[in-house]
Amino acid sequence: MARVPLTYRRLFRREVLDICAFIFIADIVTGVPIPIFPLYATSLGASLGLLGLVTSMLGLGRLLSALPVGMLSDRFNRKLVLVGGMVMFAVAFVAYSLAPSASWLIIPRLLQAVAMVATFPLGIAYIGDVLEPRDRPAAIGVYTAAMGAGFAVGPLIGSWLGATAGYPVAYLAGAVIAIGGAAFGAWRLLSIKSVHGGTSIGAGLVDVRALRTLIRRPSMLMACTANIAMTLSMTGAIFTYFPVYARGVGISTVTIGSLFAWRAIASASGRIPMGPLSTRIPVRWTLPGVLLLEAGINLGIAHTSSAVALTALLILEGIGFGVFLVSGQSGVAAASGPDNRGAAVGMFWMAGSVGDLFGPLVLGVVAQSLGVIAVFESVAVAIVVGAALVATLAVVEVVGLRRSPGKDSGEDGGVDVAARDDAHHAAVGSEPLQAGRH
């Protein structure tokens, strides 16, 4: 323990370990359908266009449920909503297993969206509640690594059960895991007494003044634009049409699950060190770089049918996503303050939901009319456009900072977490956050 850096020693506390274990289970559940959902939908008669429509329901559900779930987290406390989200996963997965037709999948897809909103973003907000600002980047790195580790296990379970026992059985297994996660949350999270007070996601989402302030900040627009582009690639291309493409070139269901598992392992391995590094590397340049890498990967997928090459590309994509996830969320935290952090988290999450909603819809039309390869090529072009927009906003931010050198980067919308922490170090050290407060 003596050799562990001080920042990580401060993270060895019950609240952090418990939420990381909880989110690890949640991402096992989320990972179960990743390699099999497109194959399940097409086995029920879905065309490539209908597959895009059904997939987009995840984004629609996230957009519609973000505000109500945030308000519920105000009323009944975040930890209760987190546990409820895990129960909702179980309900959704049982509904998946009972689907008589492809169109029926719209219902569990919407339920799964509610479950995701009630777990993953609220887990990040919970970390913000219980940790001081100086420890949050490292904690987010550990948290997202736990997510990635769970996401490595889930696809292996889903692909193996889907190939050996059928797709409905795989979903039922996910439901059982979700019930276990809810029981763990009720045992470990709800047993900690909550201290009410402070900023919450629900309050932030309905604070129009806070939203207006954030919209004016180039750093916030950068993060949201990058999130739209990244979710367009992940949900629209990688998670929806990659399994269909892989099966089309002769790769088995189990192997597809293994490919996603390797992707998740690679992604998780880089998230812990990326937490502290995000306080030193300007996010304004990290985000466009990661987007350009994502565009290149989509082009590579479109022009190879080798299982080895596809594995390498997915591993590289996983590493890039891990960098994006930690950098983007750390940047959002740095661009906001105690009075608008909830609004910032909500904006970032809802931006991703826009990509989740419209990306699969448009790509479904592309796949239906031009084929699956055209999906990856179209996504690559769209991501390059997104990277150009993010880079432009980065230049605008740098110019603004140079014109106002005396202002703190956090107030000016900057995403340099180190600068923000240095500016507020004294206040942070003298007023630690209360554990479990809301």
Written as six digits, the tokens of 49 are 């266009």
Query: Is residue 3 situated within a structural domain?
Result: no
Which stretches of 189-282 are DSSP H helices? Answer: 201-205, 208-215, 218-231, 242-248, 253-277
**CA-CA-CA-CA dihedral for 228, 232, 233, 236, to nearest 10:** 160
Q: What number of residues does the chain have?
A: 438
Name the residue with tokens 């505000």. 67
Contact 265, 152 (CB under 8 A): yes
What's the mean pLDDT in 78-91?
Answer: 94
2 part of a folded domain? no
- What's the pLDDT score for residue 193? 61
Asked if residue 416 lies in contact with residue 334, where contact means CB atoms within 8 angstroms, the answer is yes
Flag whether pLDDT at 260 surpasses 50: yes
What is the band of 384 on the pLDDT scale with cuts at 50, 70, 90? very high
Lowest mean pLDDT among 1-5, 81-85, 334-338, 355-359: 1-5
Helices 78-97 and 48-76 meet at what angle, rounded to 10?
Answer: 150
Question: Concatenated DSSP letters for 374-386?
Answer: HHHHHHHHHHHHH
Tell whether 183 is covered by a domain.
yes
Q: What is the mean pLDDT of residues 249-271?
A: 87
Q: How many CB atoms lie within 10 A of CB 306?
A: 11
Report the mean per-residue pLDDT for the chain.
81
DSSP state of 194: P
What was the pLDDT predicted at 154? 95
With vertex at residue 18, the alpha carbon angle to CA 188 and CA 63, rounded to the nearest 5 degrees, is: 100
Q: What is the pLDDT of residue 158?
A: 97
Q: Please state the rounded mean pLDDT for residues 382-391.
A: 94
CA terminus-to-terminus distance, the chain: 31
Percent of the chain at pLDDT exceeding 90: 47
How high is the pLDDT of residue 198? Answer: 44
9: number of CA atoms within 13 Å, CB side?
Answer: 6
The tokens of 139 are what?
Answer: 């904690």
**Does 172 map to a domain?**
yes
In a domain, 34, yes or no: yes
Q: Is the pLDDT of residue 203 over 70?
A: no
Does residue 349 contact residue 123 with C-beta atoms inside 8 Å? no
Tell me what pLDDT residue 82 has.
Answer: 93
State how many domains the chain has.
1
Domain contains 356: yes
Average pLDDT over residues 12-19: 82
Of 58-62, 297-301, 374-378, the least confident = 58-62
Decide if 262 contacts 311 (C-beta within 8 A).
yes
DSSP state of 105: G
Is the pLDDT reported for residue 434 higher than 60?
Answer: no
Residue 5 lies in a domain: no
Least confident of 129-138, 178-187, 383-392: 129-138
Give Cα separations from 196 to 81, 193, 201 (angstroms): 15, 10, 13
**What pTM does this model have?**
0.78
Q: Is the pLDDT of residue 68 over 50?
A: yes
Q: Is a pLDDT exceeding 50 seen at residue 202?
A: no
Q: What is the DSSP letter of 118?
A: T
Question: Domain limits at 410?
Answer: 12-190+197-430
Name the percent of the chain in helix, strand, coil, to the closest 5: 80, 0, 20
CATH number reported for the structural domain that contains residue 272 in this entry: 1.20.1250.20
Spatial CB neighbours of 106, under 8 Å, sequence gap ≥ 6: 54, 57
212-244: per-residue pLDDT in tens? 677 777 778 888 899 999 999 999 999 999 999
Q: Is residue 140 part of a domain?
A: yes
Top-confidence residue, 287 or 405: 287
